[in-house]
Structure 1
């Protein structure tokens, strides 16, 4: 296994994370660990599709921060606005990427439009003890299977979005403004699972209310919250149809065992479902991820 060290203060192989990634030979199959020492790394980072398995390993998420501030209106090198999909601070296109103990932040700020912190369009992506910070569109969970473990994800509008089959295990979802939306899944038609939240916690900032668990970005969106603690920021109806009633018939929005002030099964949108205990047993990580076990690197 290749080992690379990065420190913004020096005394490492590289000062910038992108330099470390660029040093890995294209197409190399050798698994690589990049040890990212505490510091603030102001850079836009891309992991190319032909990169080998990479473990991005920080020491402390609160002190190890990768940050940039592009938003959809930022002008790119061609003089045109970037649009949503080119705004990511961290952009992952290679399979078998893992990040641990780091913060990925888009610092564009509220009201600036779509501004992605982590753009993850790759299979078998793993994030453990990672903070994903932003406002609108914080995390793009693109193609493939993803696993997010003990992460903190914050935002306001559609801050987890995309077509991935993704498990969020013991994560905290923090909402920064009222009348907002946590998820905007675009699950492909025929996919067994979209986003599944297991034993997570939903919180809101001071005075934040009327937060929706999700709305369907595409017709076959699937999102399930299993054993979730919800504070009072969650809207009683829980789910929003994005002004498209036809999607109430094709999307799948589910809950089981929600607790806290925001848990209101009797008030949820009548086109969502409360799972039975027997049905909830099927929501196991190995089954959701089709046999992939997100342990090891």
Structure 2
């Protein structure tokens, strides 16, 4: 099933949410929603009853999903939305893919938590997607998630959540000094949390003292494998979130980091540098427990 969304209104639906809502209840086969170039200013939800969905844009520069809710935005009932209802794109479907587009939250710095993509799916794939925000840009709620050649920016905890998420050849960009890239809440017993393979980390001009991560929950797991890190990364690398006991249960790992931000000798003593043998286990099929994201 193919649906087209056009900002000009010359083809298919004028809004992405309207296109999603048009899918017949009980439809089971994959639905591709082709999104023509434009800025779509709307809050979007892909519900749990949705069939496999592919959102297909032209490219991240021309196909943009945009909204500006934050944790303090008032809902219709007069109560603040909170972090988990602030997302621009909210995904609850079992199988979801997005390609060649931008998802952004324009709430702005200093407004608190403001999610661009809230992903609480069984299996989710993002290819060549730009995720733009400040605090809490990307929420990875559950399931297995795969990000390929994506651009993700923010300042505080801008990748956070409990899912097993693999970031393959992605670009992470730090917008503010003394920030944190990840805030993992990996469940106890899960072998993998966040895994970054062959990624690149940059900072805006003058940005420094950014941490690779801090543990949102006690068993946080994050591994950076062969990642290029610029000078925005602080030597210590990892922060315990003011919870010294989490140093005993969190698993923070690196292998073959490079660039000015790679400083194994200065890293927090409770983090680890992986051996060649250990790093070899960090492959897509292993991290995602046998799942092959189609076309990876």
TM-score over 0.5 (shorter chain): yes
1:90 aligns with 2:82: no
CA deviation string 1:118-146 (max 9, x = no partner):
00001110000000000000000111000
What is the root-mean-square deviation of aligned Cα atoms in Å? 0.8
Give the aligned partner of residue 180 of structure 1: 179
Give the aligned partner of residue 43 of structure 2: 44
Residue ranges of structure 2 left out of the alignment (5+ in a row):
none
CA deviation string 1:27-67 (max 9, x = no partner):
31021000000100000000000000011000111111000
Distance 1:30 1:163 in 2: 28
Moved over 6 A (4+): none
1:296, distance to aligned residue in structure 2 (A): 5.1
Distance 2:31 2:68 in 1: 28
Give the aligned partner of residue 58 of structure 1: 57
Distance 2:154 2:163 in 1: 19
Decide which moves more: 176-185 or 8-17.
8-17
CA deviation string 1:183-212 (max 9, x = no partner):
000000000000000000000000000000
1:169, distance to aligned residue in structure 2 (A): 0.2
Residue ranges of structure 1 left out of the alignment (5+ in a row):
none
1:75 aligns with 2:74: yes
Give the aligned partner of residue 257 of structure 1: 256
Distance 1:13 1:30 in 2: 20
CA deviation string 1:246-265 (max 9, x = no partner):
00000000000000000000
Distance 1:253 1:229 in 2: 17
Distance 1:121 1:67 in 2: 19
Alignment TM-score, normalising by the size of structure 2:
0.99
Distance 2:41 2:196 in 1: 31
Give the aligned partner of residue 127 of structure 2: 128
Distance 1:277 1:62 in 2: 38
Distance 1:97 1:11 in 2: 26
Q: Secondary structure at the match of 1:250?
A: coil
Structure-to-structure mapping, 1:1-297, within 5 angstroms: 2-295=1-294
Distance 1:80 1:170 in 2: 40
